[in-house]
C-alpha cells in the first residue's frame, strides 16, 4: 500500500485529491495538512511514501517544506500546485529545492480524467523509489585516476527524476573553476527547461542557455538540450564540437535521449570526454555511458543510495559503465580538482 500525505491549504483541493486516491486500492491517504508547519509535525509520525505538495501556502510555504523534506525525511515529493504553470520559475525552484515531479493543478481536478491518470501514475512511480536518503559526507580528497592528462573537451551530463537538485549540487562545486563546454540532457517538461538554464546561470555564474542547431560549444559555457528533439554532437572541419538536433522517429521512450547524446559524445570526443549520470528513473544513459568508457573517456555516476531516483545510475553501474561512484556534490568536487590540475 502506498502511503500519501496531502498538503494543501485549500480544503476543496485536499478533498478532491483524497477522492481520487480513494478509488485506487493500492493508495492510502494517511493524512492531510493545510500548512507546511502542520505537515512537518505529521511527517515523522505518519511516515508517508509520497507527499503531494502545494507551493503557495501561508507561513513557511511549499518551497521551504520541500527543502526540509529532502533533508530530513525519505518521502518523495510530488508538487501539485496552481503556482507552477509548468513553465514558471516557481516550478524550477521547486525542483531545485528537492521536489521529484510536478503537476499543474487544474480547476476541475476531481473530474479531469487526464489529471487523475497523471497524478495516480506519478504517485506510483515515486513510491517505487524507496531507497533512503542519508546525509552523505564528501571525501576529503577527490578520487584520483582520471585517464587523460589533457584538459577535457566536453563534460556531458544526464539526469531525470531528482536530476535538477543533483545538478545544482554538482555545479555548486564547479563555480569559478576552469570548465570545458558542459552539455546537459534533463528529462522534464520542455517549457521548464529555459527557466532552468536561467536559474543555473543566476546561481552559479556559468553562462547557461538552451542549445541550438549548429551551435559550436565553447569552454566555460553550459548548454541544456531542448525538449522534444534528440541532441547529438559531431566535429566540424575545424575540429569544433557542433550541436545537431534531430526529430524522433517514434522509437525512443525519452526525447531527448541521454543514451543518444552519450553515444555521439563517445564518437566525437572519445578519451577527451567526461560523462556524468545523475538521479533518474529507468536506465536511459547507461548504455551511452558505457560507450564513453569504452572510447577511453571518464565516467561518473551519482551514488544510488544518495540519488532521489537510483534507477539510472544503478543501471550504469550494473553495465560496468562507471569508473567513479559518488554523491552529486562530490562529483563536482572531483571534477573541480581535475579541471584545476589540467588547466595549470
Q: Which residues are catalytic?
A: 160, 187, 284
| Per-residue cell: 281 | 528513473
CA–CA gap between residue 12 and residue 332 (Å, rounded):
44
Q: How many alpha carbons lie under 13 Å from residue 322 in its C-beta half-sphere?
A: 22
Q: Is 184 exposed, middle or buried, given 0-12, 13-18 or 19+ CB atoms closer than 10 A?
A: buried
- The number of angstroms, rounded, from the C-alpha of 58 to the middle of its chain's C-alpha atoms is 28
Q: How is 238-300 classified by DSSP, letter by letter?
A: TS-EEEEEE---S--SSSS-HHHHHHHHHHHHGGGEEEEE-S-SS-TTHHHHHHHHHTT-EEE
CA–CA gap between residue 200 and residue 207 (Å, rounded):
8
Q: How many alpha carbons lie under 13 Å from residue 23 in its C-beta half-sphere?
A: 12
CA–CA gap between residue 334 and residue 341 (Å, rounded):
11
In three-state secondary structure terms, 175 is: coil
Question: 10: closest CA among 52, 66, 64, 46?
Answer: 52
CB atoms within 10 A of CB 344: 7
CA–CA gap between residue 323 and residue 237 (Å, rounded):
32
Q: How is 201-213 classified by DSSP, letter by letter?
A: HHHH--EEEE--T
Q: Is the dihedral of CA 322, 282, 204, 208 positive or negative?
A: positive
CA–CA gap between residue 193 and residue 197 (Å, rounded):
6
| Per-residue cell: 88 | 514558471
Amino acid at each position: 500500500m502506498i502511503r500519501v500525505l496531502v498538503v494543501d491549504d485549500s480544503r476543496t483541493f485536499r478533498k478532491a485529491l483524497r477522492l481520487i486516491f480513494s478509488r485506487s486500492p493500492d493508495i492510502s491517504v494517511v493524512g492531510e495538512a493545510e500548512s507546511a508547519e502542520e505537515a512537518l509535525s505529521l511527517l515523522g509520525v505518519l511516515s508517508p511514501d509520497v507527499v503531494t505538495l502545494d507551493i503557495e501556502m501561508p507561513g513557511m510555504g511549499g518551497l521551504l517544506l520541500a527543502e526540509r523534506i529532502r533533508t530530513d525525511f525519505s518521502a518523495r515529493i510530488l508538487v501539485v500546485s496552481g503556482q507552477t504553470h509548468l513553465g514558471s520559475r516557481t516550478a524550477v525552484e521547486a525542483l531545485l529545492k528537492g521536489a521529484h515531479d510536478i503537476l499543474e493543478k487544474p480547476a476541475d481536478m476531481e473530474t479531469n480524467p487526464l489529471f487523475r491518470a497523471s497524478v495516480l501514475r506519478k504517485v506510483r512511480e515515486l513510491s517505487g523509489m524507496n531507497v533512503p536518503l542519508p546525509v552523505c559526507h564528501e571525501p576529503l580528497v577527490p578520487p584520483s585516476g582520471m585517464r587523460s592528462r589533457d584538459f577535457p573537451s566536453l563534460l556531458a551530463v544526464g539526469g531525470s527524476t531528482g536530476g535538477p537538485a543533483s545538478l545544482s549540487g554538482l555545479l555548486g562545486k564547479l563555480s569559478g573553476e576552469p570548465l570545458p563546454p558542459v552539455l546537459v540532457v534533463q528529462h522534464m517538461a520542455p517549457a521548464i527547461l529555459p527557466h532552468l538554464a536561467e536559474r543555473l546561470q543566476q546561481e552559479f555564474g556559468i553562462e547557461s542557455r538552451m542549445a541550438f542547431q549548429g551551435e559550436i560549444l565553447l569552454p566555460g559555457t553550459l548548454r541544456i538540450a531542448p525538449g522534444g528533439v534528440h541532441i547529438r554532437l559531431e566535429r566540424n572541419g575545424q575540429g569544433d564540437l557542433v550541436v545537431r538536433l534531430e526529430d524522433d522517429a517514434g522509437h525512443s521512450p525519452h526525447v531527448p535521449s541521454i543514451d543518444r547524446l552519450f553515444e555521439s559524445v563517445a564518437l566525437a570526443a572519445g578519451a577527451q570526454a567526461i560523462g556524468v549520470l545523475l538521479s533518474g528513473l529507468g536506465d536511459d544513459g547507461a548504455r551511452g555511458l558505457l560507450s564513453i568508457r569504452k572510447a577511453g573517456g571518464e565516467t561518473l555516476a551519482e551514488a544510488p543510495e544518495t540519488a532521489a531516483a537510483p534507477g539510472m545510475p544503478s543501471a550504469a553501474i550494473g553495465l560496468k559503465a562507471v569508473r567513479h561512484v559518488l554523491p552529486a556534490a562530490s562529483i563536482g568536487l572531483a571534477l573541480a580538482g581535475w579541471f584545476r590540475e589540467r588547466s595549470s
